[in-house]
Chain A
Amino acid sequence: MDVAAILSILEGTIRLSTPLLLACLAGLFSERAGVFDIGLEGKMLIAAFFSAAVAALAGSAWVGLAAGVAAALVLAVIHGLASITFRGNQLIAGVAINFLAAGLTVLVAENWFRLGGRTPSLSGEARFQGLTLPLTETLAGVPLLGPFWGTVISGHALLAYLAFLAVPATWWILYRTRFGLRLRAVGENPAAVDTAGISVVALRYAAVMICGLLCGLAGVYLATALSAGFVKDMSGGRGFIALAALIFAKWRPWSAMGATLLFGFLQSVATRFPRLDLGIVVVPAQFIDALPYLLTVVILAGFVGKAIPPRAGGTAYVKEHG
């Protein structure tokens, strides 16, 4: 393997990690507040469609972004209604949201564009283009660092940089602000939050909406930066990989970045080498596809450290005596 191949795999890692990272942080906010969300996939998908569709119609990626995020927020509200207001089963709500997105996107796509469930291809202003970072020119001559900076670090869409900046931001919010303290508390013991005179419902809605926003950005990135338009089921299980990464990361922001980079790397390798020949054995692409899921099962099995979710996660808050 030559340097160019390595650089290209690393570049792909950043590109493919971005939607995973955004979705993973989305899940982090929601689950840290005690609302489990297996509907990350659906929220990404619906944002992908509406961003691509509106971008195609308006000719502007930014208008598309607004539309995509808005669509994801609508699904987030539904999740909030079901799991916070009406104290329904959070997992079942997530399943419903995934199907809702899978059905609606194709239905509306067909109705708007008649292209067999896809949007027109996006180009120019309708797509988020790669940014050339400063120093790229300056460093171009430097061996190793120059190509690394130019290929791997520079040249990504704005949303990719936002995603990685969201990691320290999330850490800071979670551990250094009042909101973060309350958010973590409500995921551990909502009764403590309630008796301290803080609204459990408002906090959890806030978390679920942040989750919707970040999922929306992940979907927008998928359709308007990673690809040039929407195709049916384009999220392709990324919401679940993000969920896997979240467990892998034990619900912590920096680890979330590490986990999504790992899974992004695996995807990047699988894309570049459909059949990975390691000399002794040929690793089939299907194995690499399944690797994130296998790794998650191993993590969940507790063979590599125990993943302990937020204690109040998955249950609606009901006031009780005493």
Chain B
Amino acid sequence: MQPLPKWADATLVPLLSILIAFAISGVVILAIGKDPVEATKVMVTGALGSTYGWGYTLYYATSFTFTGLAVAVAFHAGLFNIGGEGQATLGGLGVALVLLHMAWPHWSLALLAAMAGAMAFGAAWALLPAWLQARRGSHIVITTIMFNFIAAALLNYILVNVLRPTGQMDPATARFAADLALPKLHEMLGWLGIPFARRTPANLGLVVALAAAVLVWGLLWHTRLGFQLRAFGKSEPAARYAGISPVRVTLYAMLISGALAGLMAVNTVMGEQQRLVMNAAGGAGFIGIAVALMGRSHPLGVVLAALLFGFLYQGGAEMAIWMQIPRELIVVIQALVILFTGALDNMVRMPVAWAFRLLRGGR
């Protein structure tokens, strides 16, 4: 069969999938007695109609970029890391420990340390599933799912019994020192003379995320490790023939993946919440799956897909407030995006390939 042109495969198919997912979401909105056109307007105005909305959209997009990159790197090595949620949770713990237990003279140093802590803890949480996959052949999908639950239980225990300040009721750590707060997006834009809404959570993490995307791109297509990782992901027997160690590649890929997922905590725990709370990852680890699938595991695609999901998240919140449509609609849309860009990919691709054959006027 004639392969689809590369550009169509990279853009047309995912766009069509998104359109189908949105169309079905529209039907769902209709079914619960609301107006999809109205809902879309509310979402667009709420998420993109003001710098306030943009602030939230970008904040969410930052988190999703990290988790999306995490899933994408693992995908390239042929590994399905469903454990982003647990790795991000542990990343939060790393950030909290670094910021609570050491004194930092300046936020910039604290940021570097927090990044190191987040990456180390996130990577550590990916290490055991990776090792089990590489050495014992334990299916990484199952082990990372299990590790999500174990991470939740672990964080629960630590917050309730270890890190909760005495006398505090809710299971959370103490607040970090106020002078360690990351610069907010409005401050950064202020330095450039661009006005931006003040009360939004968008922060320096955005820049870290974009830098991470560029680094991941360089890693995958311009380094030996990336070369080996992609080769291994395409064919393990061939990789062994070429002298690429399956164990090493699996470990590296998952460590990088876990570190990226963990980095998300810099945006949320350090950049916004300023303390570690229960369920700090808030599902962003799972959204990373949708983001990576939609972005075709390419860093640029991941950033764009993260932006779309950031828009959906902020727009969904607005929709919940103004139209009484529960926020869970976003979960439905997320499910549909995963379904159509991931599992039902062929359903979308087949008619497109057929249309291309027809256009070429040949068989």
Contacts and interface: CB of A to CB of B under 8 A. Distances in A.
On whether A and B touch (CB less than 8 Å), the answer reads yes
A87 B326 contact: no
Contacts of A111: 32-33
Nearest to A232: B328
A88 B344 CA distance: 6
Contact of A103 (B33, B161, B328, B344): B328
A91 B342 CA distance: 10
B338 interface: yes
A87 B138 CA distance: 24
Interface in B106-144: 128, 132, 136-139, 141-143
Interface residues of B, number: 47
Interface in A118-176: none
Q: Among A95, A294, A301, which residue has the most Cβ atoms of chain B within 10 A?
A: A95
A99 B141 contact: no
Contacts of B20: none
Interface of B: 28, 32-33, 80, 82, 128, 132, 136-139, 141-143, 145-147, 149-150, 153-154, 156-157, 160-161, 286, 289, 293, 325-326, 328-336, 338-339, 342-347
Nearest to A101: B335
A117 B338 contact: no
20 contacts: A86-B344, A86-B346, A92-B343, A95-B342, A96-B335, A96-B339, A97-B335, A102-B331, A103-B328, A110-B328, A111-B32, A286-B153, A290-B149, A293-B146, A296-B142, A297-B128, A300-B136, A300-B139, A301-B138, A302-B136
Q: Which of A93, A110, A300 has the most CB of B within 10 A?
A: A300
Interface residues of A, number: 47
A283 to B, nearest CB: 11
Nearest to A81: B344
Contacts of A297: 128, 132, 138, 143, 146-147, 150
Closest 9 CB pairs of A and B: A103-B331, A99-B335, A103-B332, A93-B343, A300-B138, A92-B342, A82-B343, A88-B343, A100-B335
A78 B338 CA distance: 13
B326 A117 contact: yes
Interface string A294-309: 1011001110000001
A177 B2 CA distance: 44
A107 B332 contact: yes
Contacts of A273: none
Contacts of B132: 297, 300-301
Contacts, number: 147
B138 A110 contact: no
A96 B343 contact: yes
A106 B32 CA distance: 12
Chief secondary structure at chain A's binding surface = helix
B137 A302 contact: yes
Contact of B142 (A86, A95, A247): A247
Contacts of A78: 339
Contacts of B326: 106-107, 110, 117
B343 A300 contact: no
A240 interface: yes
Contact of A38 (B128, B141, B156, B329): B141
Nearest to B289: A95
Contacts of B32: 107-108, 111
Nearest to A82: B343
